[in-house]
């Protein structure tokens, strides 16, 4: 097992490298980089000033020369390219980025006047809070509900819960978030929960118990919206996985030996059925951790990694884009490895080493 873990950890390195290179190539082909955006801003601002001053006259704004229809001074353009590191050819920039990332140096943001690693650390608590608690609650709800539906397949309970699951699957999480705000955050009815932020303004003045209560108080609505919008798939996956195992011959044999239903379900069916559910954990966690929480962060004014990554992509803030890409990829690979290792806890018969031999 240790040898398997070591090999998987070594495979993370070329995987990260390949993902960075592919995205770097894609970025080079994308129009409207930081240099072009800065030039457009300067030309737009200075061009407007030029027209106010009387048209094609030469004016000087912010220490740069705008020459009417000729645009900006080439020396200024070269200075902008050097400022963003685009004065070097693409292969050299890629090599510099890889060397820096090997030292976990993600550089500085183009537009936020801060180091990328500091921005990631600053935003991480929000994203971890949303991803961790949403995934945990989703599994705690989906697995028991899926098992109950499988054991009561075709009953009124199964029909009514399926109706609720279909509604939850059909309505996006951000619509549930808006509904929760209207109902419980002072929208039109009740004002029980805060509308914005992860903590209150007086958080530092509260006691330890008060800080915990305040923290979870702010998380109730965003986590609820994420859970309602994402638990349907996991519930149906659990139900179908258990139904498939319940109908197999070894279950019939176990029942014929006189074992109780709970002993058959949790002693024999559970381990086999849970393998498929566990396989979906990494994608579920990463999905909620990043893409699934973007709109939730916007709606509840939670400044996390999802919102920061989206704004960085829109603004072409490449150091932040690649820094967050590196972190999310690394996190996804590590969580995937943990998910594979969890197989052995659920079913000790699984042995990765013997399978490879």
Task: Answer for the pair 147, 265: CB distance below 8 angstroms, yes or no.
Answer: yes
C-alpha dihedral sign at 186, 192, 197, 202: positive
- Closest C-alpha among 248, 336, 347 to residue 287: 336
Angle at 221 between CA 217 and CA 225, to 5 degrees: 150
Q: Could you give the CA distance from residue 61 to residue 41 in angstroms, rounded to a whole number?
A: 12
What are the structure tokens assigned to 70, written together? 């000729």
Q: Is 175 helix (H, G, I), strand (E, B) or coil?
A: helix
Tell me the per-residue pLDDT of 154-205, one tens digit each, with 9 for 90 and over. 899 999 998 888 888 888 888 888 888 888 887 678 888 888 888 888 888 8
- Closest C-alpha among 274, 266, 242, 283 to residue 346: 274
Q: Which residues contact 103 (CB under 8 A, 6 or more apart)?
A: none
* CA 2 to each of CA 5, 6, 48, 283, 335: distance values in angstroms, whole numbers, following the listed order: 5, 6, 65, 24, 17
pLDDT in the model for residue 154: 85
Angle between helices 116-151 and 281-289 in degrees, nearest 10: 130
- Closest C-alpha among 43, 44, 26, 24 to residue 85: 24
Task: Answer for the pair 19, 12: CB distance below 8 angstroms, yes or no.
Answer: no
Q: Could you give the CA distance from residue 110 to residue 86 in angstroms, rounded to a whole number?
A: 12
pLDDT in the model for residue 53: 36
Parse the chain into domains and list their residue ranges. 32-102, 116-356
Q: Could you give the CA distance from residue 352 to residue 356 in angstroms, rounded to a whole number?
A: 6
Q: What is the DSSP string of 193-236?
A: S-SS-SS-TTGGGS-HHHHHHHHHHHHHHHHHHHHHHHHHHHHH
What is the radius of gyration, based on Cα positions, of the chain?
27
Angle between helices 116-151 and 318-346 in degrees, nearest 10: 40
pLDDT in the model for residue 217: 92
Kindly give the confidence (pLDDT) of every residue in the chain, 357 residues in length, as a single tens digit, with 9 standing for 90 and above: 778 888 888 999 999 999 989 988 888 777 777 777 777 777 665 444 333 333 333 333 344 444 444 556 777 778 877 777 788 888 888 998 899 888 888 888 888 888 999 998 888 888 888 888 888 888 888 889 988 998 888 899 999 998 888 888 888 888 888 888 888 887 678 888 888 888 888 888 888 898 999 999 999 999 898 888 778 888 888 888 888 888 888 888 888 888 888 888 888 788 778 777 776 666 666 666 665 567 888 888 888 887 888 888 888 888 998 998 888 888 888 888 877 777 776 666 666 665 555
The CATH code belonging to domain 116-356 is: 1.10.3720.10
């Amino acid at each position: 097992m240790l040898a398997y873990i070591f090999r998987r950890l070594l495979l993370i390195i070329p995987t990260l490298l390949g993902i960075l290179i592919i995205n770097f190539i894609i970025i080079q082909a994308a129009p409207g980089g930081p240099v072009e955006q800065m030039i457009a801003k300067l030309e737009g601002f200075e061009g407007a000033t030029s027209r106010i001053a009387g048209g094609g006259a030469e004016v000087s704004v912010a220490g740069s020369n705008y020459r009417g229809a000729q645009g900006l001074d080439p020396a200024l353009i070269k200075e902008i390219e050097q400022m963003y590191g685009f004065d070097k050819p693409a292969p050299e920039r890629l090599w510099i980025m890889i060397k820096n990332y090997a030292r976990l140096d993600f550089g500085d943001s183009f537009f936020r006047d801060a180091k990328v690693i500091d921005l990631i650390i600053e935003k991480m608590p929000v994203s971890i809070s949303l991803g961790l608690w949403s995934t945990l609650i989703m599994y705690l709800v989906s697995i028991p509900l899926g098992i109950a539906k499988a054991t009561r397949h075709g009953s009124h309970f199964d029909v009514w819960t399926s109706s609720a699951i279909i509604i939850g699957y059909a309505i996006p999480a951000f619509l549930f978030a808006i509904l929760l705000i209207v109902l419980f955050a002072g929208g039109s009815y009740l004002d029980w929960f805060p509308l914005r932020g992860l903590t209150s303004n007086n958080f530092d003045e509260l006691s330890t118990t008060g800080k915990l209560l305040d923290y979870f108080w702010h998380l109730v609505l965003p986590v609820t919206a994420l859970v309602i919008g994402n638990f349907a798939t996991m519930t149906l996956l659990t139900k179908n996985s258990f139904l498939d195992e319940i109908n197999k011959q070894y279950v019939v044999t176990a029942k014929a030996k006189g074992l109780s239903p709970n002993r058959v379900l949790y002693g024999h069916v559970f381990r086999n059925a849970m393998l498929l559910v566990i396989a979906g954990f990494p994608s579920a966690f990463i999905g909620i951790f990043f893409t699934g929480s973007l709109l939730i962060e916007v709606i509840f004014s939670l400044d996390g990694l999802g919102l920061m990554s989206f704004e960085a992509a829109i603004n072409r803030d490449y150091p932040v884009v690649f820094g967050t890409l590196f972190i999310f990829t690394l996190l996804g690979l590590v969580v995937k490895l943990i998910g594979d290792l969890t197989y052995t806890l659920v079913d000790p018969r699984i042995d990765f080493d013997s399978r490879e031999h």
